[in-house]
Amino acid sequence: MTLQVSSRQRMLTTFGLQEPDRVPVIDQDFNVEIFEAVLGYRPEYIMLEDTFKCSVGLGLDASYLFYADYPAIELEGNTGGQ
């Protein structure tokens, strides 16, 4: 019988320089097609909430979220009303 290890415990074990049950899985960026396949919609902008939901939907151990004075990342082809 194997114990179920949570993503949190897996990441903490790794950060503690110990060997986890498996290598933690994280992705830095998703393309629009992945958002559409996982979330069921194509976001106009990539928002932190959408990125987090996509990470959870894919079963990743962590989500790379960044924020640098911008509420969203403009997707290709979006002119932003200009």
Domain spans, the chain: 26-74
Distance CA 53, CA 38 (A): 9
Q: Spell out the residues 6+ positions from residue 2 whose beta carbon is closer than 8 angstroms to its own.
A: 21
Share of the chain above pLDDT 90, in %: 46
Please indicate, yes or no, whether the overall pTM of this predicted structure exceeds 0.85. no
- Average the pLDDT over 13-29 and give the result: 92
Q: Two tokens at 59? A: 């079963």
Average pLDDT, integer, range 78-82: 46
Q: What is the pLDDT of residue 82?
A: 43
For residue 27, give the amino acid letter. D
